[in-house]
Amino acid sequence: MENTLCNRNIKLLYLYTLCINSVFCLPILMPFYQDHLGLSFHDFLIGESVFAASMILLDVPTGWLADQWGRKKCLILGALVFGLGILSMYYAIGFWTIIAAQGVVGIGSSLMTGANSALLYDSLLAANRENEFRKREGFRFALQLYACAGAAIIGGYLYTIDASLPFYVETTICCIGALLAFAFIEPPRHKKTVEGHPAMDILRTIKYVMHGHKEIAGLIMLMTLAFATTKICMWSIQAYTLALGWDTSWNGWIISLVMVSGGVFGHIGHKIWPNLYGRKALYILLAALIFSLVIAGLDVTWFGLICLGFEAFVFGFGMPRAQEAVNNLAGSGERATILSTASLATSLGFIPMSQVIGWATDHYGIGNGLLIHAAVIAVCGIGAYLLIERSIKAQAARSISTVTGT
């Protein structure tokens, strides 16, 4: 019975992932802002900031909601709200309405963040197959990137036919995703007893991560540094090709190639160095990411661009292992909340880190900006390393004291 539930949820989750991540309007948002709303690039960045702020503010509360209300219900609601936000963007009539629509899209994304991974892990756990999580989560991440890369190319073509098509098609597919989510079977899990106001329950979970379990806190710090940097690398590619003197038309194809590469590495990542997992995987990946930034920054060449594209490997190969490490340390009752906390930390980390490289690039060029960014994450990475290793040593010392009775 548990295996049937597990297999059903896995198949449906894969289809759901394809639907939600088919972001057809992604490559045409900036032209849409300019051509149909008469807004500037600065206005576009404000809209993206509102989306990011929605994710930051709501990731943890919606993770708590998934733990208490149910993963299935959050995934249904998230798909519907996300689709509503996409449709609202097309019908926006000015700055404030498009800002509101971006906020709705952020709410929908937050509802799905954490709940999808937690549904997968708890489904596997119910069938005593949790050792498959890395493989299954890696494939799910691959599907996200495949869907996004494919939809980006198709969306650009649809926009040339009719500006409304990318928005209508994406909204329709989101509704299909919601219908698929109705067929999920909520897996059994240990559910916490809510004490007091939900906000206090969220704060207790954050305290659990940051103080009571410093190893999880250190892992979240490493995830923040690594995966916020992969996002920055994605955006830095455009500045890098500009410094190379390449035509901007190459950017879309390069970014699509990076996304597909990340999907491939997520798909087959469980077969690459299978004995590397947990905190050690994050240590090595962060060090390799720093090295690639240094190489890209020392000399702006086509090889440096490839080094920036290394972020696809870090994301596809590393994210499932990082989430597996957190899952193995977290209890089922707060798993989605903790995963959402990690996502929240990554979004928070992206904001100041992106500002650093943006300021440095404007003043000193993309090469020096990358070098400064590498230095920042190296220093922060050493701090995370010390926090994790000291926590492990302290826990080992306590265990020895308990056994010896001293």
Same domain? For 206 and 327 the reply is yes
Other Cβ atoms less than 10 A from the Cβ of 156: the count is: 17
Cβ contact 9:184 at 8 Å: yes
CA distance 223 to 218: 9
Same domain for 165 and 231, yes or no, is: no
Residue 297 in any domain: the answer is yes
Residues 122 and 214 in one domain: no
Residue 107's domain spans which residues?
1-185
Last residue of a domain, one of 125, 154, 185: 185
Cα–Cα dist 116/15, whole Å: 12
Question: Is 191 part of any domain?
Answer: no
Q: Which of 185, 214, 233 delimits the end of a domain?
A: 185
Widest pairwise Cα distance in the chain = 76
Out of 185, 204, 220, a domain closes at 185
In a domain, 166, yes or no: yes
Write down the pLDDT at residue 375: 92
Q: Give a yes or no: residue 228 inside a domain.
A: yes
247 HSE (CA, 13 A, CB side): 3
Instruction: Report if residue 345 sits inside a domain.
Output: yes
**Would 190 be classed as within a structural domain?**
no
Same structural domain for residues 133 and 253? no
One domain, residues 5 and 79? yes
Both 249 and 229 in one domain: the answer is yes
- Give per-residue pLDDT as tens, 235-244: 777 677 777 8
Answer yes or no: pTM beyond 0.85: no
Query: Could you tell me what percent of the chain has a pLDDT over 90?
Result: 16
- pLDDT mean by block of 10 residues, the chain; 406 residues: 78 92 80 77 68 77 81 92 94 90 91 84 82 80 80 79 91 94 80 46 59 67 81 75 70 72 69 69 85 90 86 76 70 63 71 75 81 89 80 65 55
14 part of a folded domain: yes
Closest C-alpha to 374, from 259, 291, 283, 306: 291
Task: Look at residue 193 in the predicted model and tell me its pLDDT.
Answer: 39
pLDDT at residue number 195 = 42
Within this chain, do residues 202 and 224 fall inside the same structural domain, yes or no?
Answer: yes
Provide the CATH number for the domain around residue 91: 1.20.1250.20
| Number of independent structural domains in the chain | 2
- The answer on 179 and 218 residing in a single domain is no
269, 156: one domain: no
3-class SS of residue 277: coil
The answer to whether 118 and 66 are in contact (CB under 8 A) is yes
Same domain membership, residue 200 and residue 181:
no
Indicate if 160 and 202 belong to the same structural domain. no
- Cβ neighbourhood burial of 211 (10 Å; 0-12, 13-18, 19+): exposed
Looking at the structure, tell me whether residues 114 and 254 fall in a common domain.
no
